């Protein structure tokens, strides 16, 4: 047998034994995931901007209120700055650094991750003009959605909307307090003074959220149709958990203990609207690491709920999450992948804590080791990155077969760097939205809504349920990819 034939046989056997011998390039996916946030930037872009098809935009934000509200992120394929999902995005990016900072540093992506966090926190600092005033949105979804314009050409209203003592928004400011506290931990090693500044904002916003309670869409009604909150108790718990982690102040532990009787129960998802799983997992990790002083009996309920959610995700529980035939976790037709990426993050994070503390997970159908959890996470991430029935990567720019016509204004219209001619509100629809061609700009790292329950995907700009990407989709995946990258 020639050496060439011998190698072929070895390779063939490897494929039979272990499936596809080509491993997924998590490192490249990680790099692209962080590039995505640069494409979503609003405001004046920095000199080190890597996504060159974007330009400065929304430079007058906040002028209607007499303040500077430039910066921050556009949430998805439109040009509105929705504070609620933006804060969740920043919290998850910060958690990625807190949990997997060393992995990010090893791949030379830690600076990019911190820059992504800071682009959000710098905007939140501007938006937090007084201890009990926070601006939670710039722009209006209805008027924005009537136009198809590059952010650089934007002509739609840029009204600023706030919450305060008379107009509460406990969910919005609670989530932003969590983002500030998580970011404070993320920056603690590299910039302790900035970390301290972030912590002051976190404490002030938590105080506002607790003392003046209410759902934010009652105060910012224009947000209700797009990012309506189902309640604020989860955000208050989430914020308290992050503030405890950042400060070790017993005040926050007391709050967590006080809420234990209504710990959220076993949730069906973790998302920008429902933070219970995130808080439960953080508390469970602290229990495993024996970081809580004194009586832990009340806190064990959080751990039980966190573990039941994970068991249900990996199909070892009493109320398992649906899956597609191709093996992808399935919640709903609209932007399903946001729930997949968020779930994979908490499972990954918890798996590492189980391993470090020499514990295993007890599910309804048996014991699960941390290595089994990581294998499950890999199956979900690999599906997203192309190991699926359609052999399509649902991360834009990754691999050779990925969505070409994603629902995204900036990506779908020729870059202002190439053609400075203004594309007006209606022109964008006529010239670009309805154009049967690939987007002229590649939105690297964007995670689209993803396939339907039958593993099918319709690559069309008008298919916003499947073809729109959002910052909340990609943010949790940053940490997961860092963890999987060897």
Identify the residue whose tokens are 């759902």: 215
Q: Let me know how many helices (H) and strands (E) the chain has, helices first.
A: 18, 7
Q: Where are the beta strands (DSSP E) in 318-373?
A: 322-323, 329-330, 361-363, 366-368
Residue 73 main-chain phi, psi, to 5 deg: -125, 145
How many whole angstroms separate alpha carbon 166 and alpha carbon 132? 10
Instruction: Count other C-beta atoms under 10 Å from residue 417's C-beta.
Output: 12
**DSSP code for 12:** H
> Of 128, 132, 407, 408, which residue is the catalytic one?
407
Dihedral sign, Cα of residue 157, residue 55, residue 85, residue 441? positive
Q: Are 91 and 455 in contact (CB under 8 A)?
A: no
Integer angstrom CA distances of residue 125 from 42, 184, 404? 15, 13, 36
How many whole angstroms separate alpha carbon 16 and alpha carbon 29? 26
The CA-based angle 36-387-355, given to 5 degrees, is 80
Both tokens of 19, joined, read 């499936």
145 is catalytic: no
How many whole angstroms separate alpha carbon 355 and alpha carbon 369? 8
Q: What is the distance of C-alpha 282 from the center of its chain?
A: 17
Catalytic positions, please? 407
């Amino acid at each position: 047998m020639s050496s060439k034939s011998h190698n072929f046989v070895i390779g063939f056997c490897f494929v039979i034994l272990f499936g596809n011998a080509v491993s997924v390039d998590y490192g490249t996916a990680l790099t692209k995931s962080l590039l995505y946030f640069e494409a979503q930037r609003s405001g004046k872009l920095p000199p080190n901007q890597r996504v060159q098809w974007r330009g400065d935009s929304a430079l007058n934000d906040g002028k209607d209120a007499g303040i500077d509200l430039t910066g921050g992120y556009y949430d998805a394929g439109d040009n509105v700055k929705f504070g609620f999902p933006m804060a969740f995005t920043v919290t998850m990016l910060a958690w990625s650094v807190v949990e997997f900072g060393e992995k990010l540093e090893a791949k030379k992506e830690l600076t990019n991750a911190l820059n992504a966090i800071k682009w959000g926190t710098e905007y939140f600092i501007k938006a937090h003009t007084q201890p009990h005033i926070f601006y939670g949105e710039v722009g209006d979804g209805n008027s924005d959605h009537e136009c198809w314009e590059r952010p650089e050409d934007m002509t739609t209203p840029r009204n600023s909307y706030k919450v305060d003592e008379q107009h509460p928004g406990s969910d919005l400011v609670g989530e932003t307090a969590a983002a500030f506290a998580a970011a404070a931990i993320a920056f603690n090693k590299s910039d302790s003074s900035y970390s301290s500044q972030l912590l002051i904002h976190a404490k002030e916003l938590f105080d506002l959220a607790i003392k003046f309670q209410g759902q934010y869409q009652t105060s910012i009604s224009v947000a209700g149709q797009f990012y309506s909150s189902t309640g604020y108790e989860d955000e208050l718990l989430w914020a308290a958990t992050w503030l405890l982690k950042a400060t070790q102040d017993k005040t926050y532990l007391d709050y967590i203990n006080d809420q234990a009787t209504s710990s959220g129960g076993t949730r069906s998802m973790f998302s920008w609207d429902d933070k219970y799983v995130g808080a439960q997992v953080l508390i469970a990790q602290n229990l495993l690491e024996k970081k809580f002083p004194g009586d832990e009996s009340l806190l064990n309920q959080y751990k039980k709920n966190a573990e039941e959610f994970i068991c249900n995700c990996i199909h070892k529980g009493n109320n398992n999450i649906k899956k597609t035939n191709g093996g992808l976790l399935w919640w709903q037709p609209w932007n399903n992948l946001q729930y997949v990426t968020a779930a994979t993050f908490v499972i990954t994070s918890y798996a590492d804590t189980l391993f470090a503390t020499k514990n295993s997970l007890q599910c309804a159908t048996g014991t699960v080791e941390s290595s089994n959890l990581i294998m499950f996470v890999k199956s979900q991430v690999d599906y997203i990155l192309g190991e699926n029935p359609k052999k399509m990567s649902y991360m834009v720019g990754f691999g050779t077969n990925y969505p070409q016509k994603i629902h995204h204004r900036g990506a779908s219209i020729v870059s202002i760097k190439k053609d400075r001619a203004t594309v007006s509100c209606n022109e964008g629809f006529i010239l670009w939205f309805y154009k049967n061609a690939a987007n002229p700009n590649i939105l690297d790292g964007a995670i689209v809504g993803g396939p339907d329950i039958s593993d099918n995907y319709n690559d069309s700009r008008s298919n916003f349920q499947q073809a729109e990407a959002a910052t909340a989709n990609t943010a949790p995946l940053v940490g997961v990819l860092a963890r999987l990258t060897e």
